[in-house]
Amino acid sequence: MFAFGIKTILTLLLTGGLIAFVGDYIGKTIGRKKITIFKLRPRHTAFMITIITGVLISLITLGIILAVSQNTRVALFGLEALKKTLSENKQELANTLREKKKINQEFALANISLAKAKLEIAALETSKQKLSEKIEASRKDTVLFKVGEVLIVSLIKAGPERLKLESGLKQILSAADAQVRSFGIEKKDHLIFLPPEEFEQAIVDLQLSDKENIVKVIAARNTLFGEEVPVRLEISENKLIYKAGEAIAETEISPSFPNPRIEQEIKKLLLQTHLLAREVGVEPDASGSLGSLPYAEILSEARKIKTYKKELIIKTMAKSDIYAIGPLKVEFKAFYK
């Protein structure tokens, strides 16, 4: 490439010099012989010959450059098209990078959703296994419900209208009956028994209130598979426990912690939140749970914590008003220590 450039320059120099020499020679000859062109004076004719020689030098030089250099041809005749193509390529590259970023974000969300789905499937498999074990154990004459075990938790609006209260309590008892049948018991008779005097007492107590109340149906004694389940009712007001945005529990976490430790600290905070909520009156459901937080949210919070530069106080806050019936819906808030 370097040798080609030198040859091209030498060719241009020789060609220019030759044309200049010829032009000068012709100009001098015309000057001495006083030749005229287009009826011009000899001196003017010589001057014109010199100009024409200069133009020829430029044209021949340009012609040679165009003949031997593709880059020169592109620079003279295709530069605008090249600029347009370059601009289009840059725009296409920018669009491709944006699309790649979008795809990466969607892929990350898909991975989080997949992890969440796997955890939920695992939880369902665990529940299924426990239920199967309970059914199997029950069919071997072991206890299906222990005394004090909650069969179902529901709500009822108290008030003076007896018929509405009777209908509401009967629906709750029917739901408890269906819960017992879900273990595989096939009987036409009712499987739940509540003494009539206790049913009546519950109606009277509810008539004296105008609040929303929690009704728990609780096993009154140990019951074997297939037996009628004697129950009692436990009724309490569905009080407001936490207002939306109210802090429940807190802990200190450093962004310098490795990810597994941060996730572990968040889980400890959630456990502390559940314990405190139960202490102040949030009731667990029939399975004993106050509600759960998807692992994807724990993972997301851990990633957020890693972006901070100083130690933090992480608080669990009520996501909305939380009543005694639950569920315990919370969100995380981070504050610098």
| Exposure class string for 32-46: b at 16+ Cβ within 10 A, else e | eeeeeeeeeeeeebb
Structural domain contains residue 248: yes
Query: Taking the CB of residue 25, how many other CB atoms lie within 10 A of it?
Result: 12
Of 187, 219, 238, the residue that ends a domain is 238
* 9 and 62, same domain (yes or no): yes
- Give per-residue pLDDT as tens, 315-331: 999 999 999 998 899 99
* 233 and 268, same domain (yes or no): no
Structural domain contains residue 219: yes
Q: Which of 299, 337, 290, 296 is nearest to 318 (CA)?
A: 290
Question: Rounded distance, CA 65 to CA 50, Å?
Answer: 23
Domains in the chain, number: 3
Q: Which residues contact 245 (CB under 8 A, 6 or more apart)?
A: 317, 318
Q: Which residues contact 35 (CB under 8 A, 6 or more apart)?
A: 29, 42, 45
* 255 and 224, same domain (yes or no): no
| Statement: the pTM of the whole predicted model exceeds 0.75 | no
- Give per-residue pLDDT as tens, 30-43: 666 665 666 666 66
- Give per-residue pLDDT as tens, 244-263: 999 999 999 999 999 999 99
**Backbone CA torsion sign across 11, 16, 19, 24:** negative
Of 77, 110, 131, the residue that ends a domain is 77
Structural domain contains residue 135: no
* 230 and 264, same domain (yes or no): no
- Coil, strand or helix at 308: coil
- Give per-residue pLDDT as tens, 107-119: 777 777 777 777 7
Question: Rounded distance, CA 50 to CA 34, Å?
Answer: 15
Residue 31 belongs to domain spanning: 2-77
Please give the distance of CA 100 from its chain centroid, rounded to a whole number: 16
* 246 and 178, same domain (yes or no): no
- Give per-residue pLDDT as tens, 183-222: 888 787 888 999 999 999 999 999 998 899 999 999 999 9
* 209 and 256, same domain (yes or no): no
Question: Could you tell me the pLDDT band of residue 94, with boundaries at 50, 70 and 90?
Answer: confident
DSSP-H helix ranges across 34-140: 42-68, 70-77, 79-138
Question: Rounded distance, CA 158 to CA 162, Å?
Answer: 9
Query: Taking the CB of residue 47, how many other CB atoms lie within 10 A of it?
Result: 15
- What is the pLDDT, as a whole number, of residue 96? 84
* 229 and 253, same domain (yes or no): no
| Average pLDDT, integer, range 142-159 | 90
- What is the pLDDT, as a whole number, of residue 190? 84
Are 223 and 276 contacting, i.e. CB atoms less than 8 angstroms apart? no
Mean pLDDT computed over every residue of the chain: 82
* 213 and 275, same domain (yes or no): no
Structural domain contains residue 331: yes
* 221 and 164, same domain (yes or no): yes
Of 54, 77, 100, the residue that ends a domain is 77
Structural domain contains residue 126: no
* 234 and 251, same domain (yes or no): no
* 221 and 278, same domain (yes or no): no
Cis check: omega of the bond before 255, within 30 degrees of 0: no
Structural domain contains residue 205: yes
* 157 and 229, same domain (yes or no): yes
